[in-house]
Amino acid sequence: MADPSPTPATPPETGTFRVKRGLAEMLRGGVIMDVVDAEQAKIAEEAGAVAVMALERVPSDIRRDGGVARMSDPELIEGIKEVTTIPVMAKARIGHFVEAQILEALGVDFVDESEVLTPA
């Protein structure tokens, strides 16, 4: 069997198909709550949510204000990760790959590149 450790020519796989499918299977049938702070995330977990989506603002507030949302503040995401044991998800604007890289560096469990943050 080949040595699975990464080399400079073969970078490590961080999001293999098996891992991604496993997360989807784990979340199926459960509730993923939108949260805007650590307190809401803790309440969601205690109420039985299978994951939380860390948002700057909830979509209804974005539409009401006629604005554009941004990726959640990294400190908010870190605060949510500190108080919960369930997966933490976060959104990045479509095409803003640097936002996705920041979310990956923060260790979020799922990055959603979403049009919710950038209205058409």
pTM score, whole prediction:
0.73
Domains of the chain are 31-117 (3.20.20.70)
The string of pLDDT tens digits covering residues 30-74 is: 888 999 999 999 999 999 999 999 998 877 777 787 777 788 999
Residue with tokens 């039985």: 48
Positive or negative, the CA dihedral 75, 76, 77, 83 is: positive
Residue with tokens 């870190």: 78
81 belongs to the catalytic site: no
Judge whether residue 107 has pLDDT over 70.
Answer: yes
Tell me what pLDDT residue 7 has. 55
Catalytic pick among 20, 42, 81, 91: 91
Higher pLDDT, 28 or 33: 33
The beta strand positions in 63-102, using DSSP E, are 88-93
